[in-house]
Amino acid sequence: MNSQKQLLIGLTADNFRHSLDLEATNALKQLPGFDILIRSVLGSVGEQFFYLNNIASSILVGENQLPDLHNLLLEACKVLDLEPPQLYIQQNSVPNAYTFAMRGEKPFIVLHTSLIEMLTPEEVQAVIAHELGHLKCEHGVYLTMANVMVLAASLLPTWGAMLTQSLQERILQWVRCAEFSCDRAALLATQNPRTIMSVLMKLAGGSPTIAPQLNLDAFIEQAKAYDRASRNSLGETLRAMQTSQLSHPVPVIRAREIERWSGSAQYQNLIQQHNQDLSQVGKWRDW
Sheet of 97-100: strands edge to edge? 59-60, 86-90, 108-112, 97-100
Compute the distance between CA of residue 136 and CA of residue 185 in angstroms, rounded to an integer: 9
CA distances from 186 to 173, 238, 243 (A): 21, 29, 22
pLDDT in tens, 122-179: 999 999 999 999 999 988 777 766 666 655 555 555 555 555 566 667 777 788 888 9
CA geometry: angle at 82 spanning 78 and 84, to 5°?
85
Q: What is the pLDDT of residue 148?
A: 63
Enumerate the domain spans of the chain. Answer: 6-280
Length, in residues, of the chain? 287
Q: Name 121's Cβ contacts closer than 8 Å, sequence gap at least 6.
A: 1, 68, 72
- Catalytic status, residue 123: no
CA distances from 232 to 22, 109, 223, 228, 252 (A): 26, 39, 16, 8, 18
pLDDT in tens, 20-73: 888 877 777 776 666 666 666 565 666 677 778 888 999 999 999 999 999 999
Which of the residues 47, 75, 123, 131 is marked catalytic? 131
Q: How many CA atoms does the CB half-sphere of 111 hold within 13 Å?
A: 31
Q: Is 219 exposed, middle or buried (0-12, 13-18, 19+ CB in 10 A)?
A: buried
- pTM recorded for the entire structure: 0.84
